[in-house]
Amino acid sequence: MSTQSDAIVIHGHRGARGLAPENSLSAFRRACEIGVDGLELDVLISKDERVVIHHDHRLNPQLCRDANGQWVNDPAPLIFSLTQSELQSFDIGRIRPNAPLQVQFSNQQAVDGEKIPLLEDLARWWQGLGHSRPILNVELKSHPERPEETPPARDYVRIVIEELRRFDLEAHTWLQAFDWSLLLEVKRQAPHIRTGFLSAQRDDEPTVLSSEASPWLAGFDPFKFNNSMPQAIRAAGGDYWGPWMGDLSADAVSEAKMAGLGVHPWTLNSIADLQSAIRWGVTGLTTDYPDRARALFIENHMEIPPPCIS
């Protein structure tokens, strides 16, 4: 049976992407109805410097319809090129028919009329939840080889931090990123905020290279630290490691915990992955299906978070 010391937190990926439109208020609401410890979400910056909740640097053609109900096509506009009011004209309430995402998330419930939210929208909704409010696990999206798609790191982080402070969210937020330069900037501007250093080594788009510097890691490449990802993250000042689940092992979890890091892999949807994470003793996990994680936790007599709303 789990104890308080070895409890594993559950974060709903993009809300509850397997069940409701990703990064939407409906998805965050669905995750809270199920019961999660945290809401994972992605943010970008709009042309008028608003913090926008959206995963892709460009409007996603699989998810976005314009004011006339027409699906957006490639090349879709950058989030950074659109103002808040322009972004509000798009509907993200359902997946485009026959798109790969529809096959992947065939049980997702459509919510027509759902708009791309701002962090402000989530913050105002979150404040109304009462006492059982989940952590906001905010991923800062950027690509170090495409700097024109986001503001410079200092400005990007300043805009996000100012928004968190406006809603008194600093103590209730984690900030994570694959682009570690943003996290180093977070440490400069708001060192008390918990930071998660994301990585992908054997994924289709690796951010970690075996023997040469990666543009993603801001100089903290593991080969400079005895080929140890935990040592690299610890040297960079990180609080937790967010690896792709395919890169993780029991030994890696143990090493990270010995280094004083949390271990919070993504994105765990299969029962096999969830079982491995439990067995290895991760400190948290992110899943598109928080209902599956909760059911498995209950089966294993582990602590589960209460629903945030009924």
Specify the pLDDT at position 2. 34
| Stretch 203-220: mean pLDDT | 93
Q: Which residues, at least 6 apart from 138, have a Cβ–Cβ distance to it below 8 Å?
A: 41, 42, 43, 119, 160, 173, 174, 175, 176
Whole-number Å distance between alpha carbons of 98 and 94: 12
Whole-number Å distance between alpha carbons of 9 and 23: 20
* Span of 24-28, 200-204, 304-308 with lowest mean pLDDT: 200-204
Where residue 204 falls among pLDDT bands split at 50, 70, 90?
Answer: confident
pLDDT for residue 4 is more than 70 = no
Q: Running DSSP on this structure, what letter comes out for residue 242?
A: E
Q: What is the pLDDT of residues 230-240, one digit of tens each?
A: 999 999 999 99
Q: What is the pLDDT of residues 26-82, one digit of tens each?
A: 999 999 999 999 999 999 999 999 999 999 999 999 999 999 999 999 999 999 999
Contact between residue 241 and residue 261 where contact means Cβ atoms under 8 Å apart: yes
CA angle 274, 171, 40 (to 5 degrees): 35
Specify the pLDDT at position 310. 60
pLDDT for residue 3 is more than 60 = no
Share of the chain above pLDDT 90, in %: 94
| Domain ranges across the chain | 4-299
Where residue 194 falls among pLDDT bands split at 50, 70, 90?
Answer: very high
For the domain made up of 4-299, give the CATH fold: TIM Barrel (3.20.20)
Specify the pLDDT at position 308. 87
| Stretch 259-267: mean pLDDT | 98
